[in-house]
Amino acid sequence: MTTMDLRADIGEILLTEAQIQARVADLGVQISADYAGRPLTLVSVLKGSLPFMADLMRSITLPVRIDLMEVSSYSGATTESSGLVRILKDLSSSIEGEDVLICEDIIDTGLTLNYLVRYLGGKKPASLRICTLLDKPARRLVEIPVDYTGFTIPDQFVVGYGLDYGELYRNLRYVGVLRPEVYTESE
Ligand code: PRP
């Protein structure tokens, strides 16, 4: 069960605030160089990518537009993805002819992005790439062409910096491994 002390529910801290900030700054430099001279549209996949998007957009020196999508996987077990994706919030404007970079917090099975790449690709952007803060390749079910990765992480249940368990822990400044007793107790 989640306690009122978020820090107490975290075992190992996988990525510190400093590590995350340094890597996000690097990604911003790389993306700014790769898209030099071209305006860029960042599409954030809510809710998990909110802190990453906010930091990444400020580390990019190009003119950027942003748009937000919210999707949810239909899921039985809380920590598993089912592959069925539901759009809770769609884009606000057309992305036709734009260079689009999808901004995700984590790629796990790849099912969410597999759906989103096909969905956004159908809207005829000039280009469509993927940037994820975290990649958990051990659990991949479909191959996803990831263009920018912050960190590759092991198959552990992580929360923080946007990632939740039961909608909590997103406001932690770091990424940590949730103690198993938090999600196994009092089910
Ligand atoms: C999480 C995460 C990705 C997706 C990755 O979103 O933000 O969108 O799962 O999993 P996959 O690669 O197995 O598809 P979630 O549905 O938990 O919503 P949230 O971002 O609002 O927490």
**Per-residue pLDDT of the chain in tens (187 residues, 90 and over written 9):** 777 788 889 999 999 999 999 999 999 999 999 999 999 999 999 999 999 999 999 999 999 999 999 998 765 544 455 567 899 999 999 999 999 999 999 999 999 999 999 999 999 999 999 999 999 999 999 999 999 999 999 999 999 999 999 999 999 999 999 999 898 865 4
Q: Using alpha carbons, list the distances in angstroms from residue 168 to 5, 8, 105, 107.
A: 11, 13, 15, 19
- If you search the block for the tokens 């989103």, which residue do you land on? 116
pLDDT at residue 75 in the model: 59
Among 65, 67, 64, CA closest to 49: 67
User: Which atom of ligand 1 lies nearest, measured to the CA of 170?
Assistant: 22
Find out whether the beta carbon of 164 lies less than 6 Å from any atom of ligand 1: yes
What is the residue range of 116's domain? Answer: 18-153
Q: Is residue 105 a part of any domain in this protein?
A: yes
**Which residue CA neighbors atom 21 of ligand 1 most closely?**
47
Report the CATH number that the domain containing residue 111 is assigned in CATH.
Answer: 3.40.50.2020
User: Which atom of ligand 1 lies nearest, measured to the CA of 139?
Assistant: 13
Find out whether the beta carbon of 129 lies less than 6 Å from any atom of ligand 1: no
Q: Is residue 2 a part of any domain in this protein?
A: no
Mutate to test the pocket of ligand 1, among 81, 120, 170 (most ligand atoms within 8 A of CB): 81
- The torsion defined by the Cα of 107, 66, 129 and 176, in degrees rounded to 10, comes to -20
**Which residue CA neighbors atom 20 of ligand 1 most closely?**
48
The rounded Å distance from CA 116 to ligand 1 centre is 11
Q: Is residue 177 a part of any domain in this protein?
A: no
Looking at the annotation, which residues are catalytic?
A: 108
Structural domains in the chain (count) = 1
Q: Is residue 5 a part of any domain in this protein?
A: no
pLDDT at residue 102 in the model: 98
Q: Is residue 159 a part of any domain in this protein?
A: no
The rounded Å distance from CA 56 to ligand 1 centre is 18
The rounded Å distance from CA 91 to ligand 1 centre is 17
Beta-strand pair 175-178/10-15: antiparallel
Q: How far is CA 2 from the centre of its chain?
A: 23
User: Which atom of ligand 1 lies nearest, measured to the CA of 114?
Assistant: 14
Q: Is residue 183 a part of any domain in this protein?
A: no
Q: Is residue 106 a part of any domain in this protein?
A: yes
